[in-house]
Amino acid sequence: MAVALGGALLAWLPRLMAAEETGALVRSVPAVRGSEPELAVAYGEAMAASGAPIALSVAQEGEVVAQLVTPGEQVRRGTALLQFRLTAAATSAYRQAESALALARTTERHIAALLAQRLATRDQMAQAQKASADAAAALQALTREGAGQPVQALDAPVDGVVEAFPAAVGDRVAAGTALVTLTPSASLVVTVGIEPRLRTRVRAGQAVRLERLDVAAAGAGPEGVVARVDGTINPKTRLVDVDVAVPEGSVIAGEAFRAEIDLGPVAGWVVPHEAVLDDARGNYLFQIKNGHAVRVDVRELLSAGERDVVAGGLVAGRPVVTSGASQLADGAPVRAAS
């Protein structure tokens, strides 16, 4: 009897080994819980923040004599941008103010001398002092406005980029007319467009990773943070504009960027992207139990490149099939690749 039983086992052994060898060859990884950052991808370019460009002018009527820089040029604070010549009327007004002050002070001295001889009243002295003070104030105001310099240079008040010259050389302009527009370097931001559905999820302070897209300077860009989320849809792009603040001097106006905005972590089962399959029933994956594939239906929470975050009835400790998963059926025998 024993001999017969042993013979039967020996006869079945090759079949069992063959069945084992015919199991699907797969690779697997442990099932682990964790989280991955959710990233919103957007595209845009470096530009001045809303309201950032400043217009420079002269508080006197005059003529543009020369432009000393060109539009698009990067300039430092104190750089002369253009030369401006005051009109004869503006210069004459300054000379008249000088004469008025000199006359007022002469009158004040004369009244003081008369007062000392009891030939003038204290009221007359007060009026003379007020006239001197008013004339001095008028002259100081004209001096602050540059009326004392017939030909003067208009300097950059901050580091920045020259945007345009609204007034051309030879133009005669009124007092206060914009002569140069300048974008301060500190005001440059990277403005990108996000899908409207993400507007409520993108908030000021979120971290942003930037990548330069221009061929001549492609590669990693500066780290930034969300500074502002627009409340309306851009009519040209049909996206919502988001301003990303970057370190001063780290970008050039007009540079193109790809932005990844960190919306925060998504927690669940972290599995390789290739492990997650789908059919008419939805997303699923396979775990290995006692050498067989076990289907586990899952809900995809996040697809983050090579890794997905899913929710479902996975069993901790059971391997998750990665390579070869698409060839399996529920309950199919599997073999682990060496």
pLDDT in tens, 164-202: 899 888 888 888 889 998 888 777 889 999 999 999 999
Instruction: Identify which of 26, 23, 22, 24 has the alpha carbon closest to the alpha carbon of residue 272.
Output: 26
Please give the structure tokens belonging to residue 262. Answer: 């960190």
Pure H helices in the chain: 2-21, 88-116, 122-144
Instruction: Identify which of 190, 326, 328 has the alpha carbon closest to the alpha carbon of residue 261.
Output: 190
pLDDT for 128: 81
Q: Strand 151-155 to strand 307-312: parallel, antiparallel, or no bridges (unpaired)?
A: unpaired
Cβ atoms within 10 Å of 8's Cβ, excluding its own = 10
pLDDT for 145: 64
CA 161 to chain CA centroid, Å, is: 17
CB-based contacts of 46, cutoff 8 Å, min separation 6:
188, 189, 190, 191, 246, 251, 252, 253, 254, 255, 257
Q: pLDDT band at residue 92, thresholds of 50, 70 and 90?
A: low
pLDDT for 5: 43
Does the pLDDT value for residue 157 go beyond 80?
A: yes
Instruction: Write down all domains in the chain, each with its CATH number in brackets.
Output: 24-35+267-336 (2.40.420.20), 40-51+185-265 (2.40.30.170), 59-175 (no CATH)
pLDDT for 216: 66
What φ, ψ does residue 303 adopt, rounded to 5°? -110, 110
Does the pLDDT value for residue 18 go beyond 70?
A: no
What average pLDDT is seen over the chain? 84
Sign, CA torsion 238/239/245/250: negative
Please give the structure tokens belonging to residue 9. Answer: 């086992």
CA distances from 151 to 76, 83, 95 (A): 22, 7, 15
Instruction: Identify which of 325, 266, 332 has the alpha carbon closest to the alpha carbon of residue 299.
Output: 266
Q: Give 274-329 pLDDT, tens digit per residue.
A: 999 999 999 999 999 999 999 999 999 998 778 899 999 999 888 999 988 888 89
CB-based contacts of 236, cutoff 8 Å, min separation 6:
none
296/304 Cα distance (integer angstroms): 20
pLDDT for 41: 92
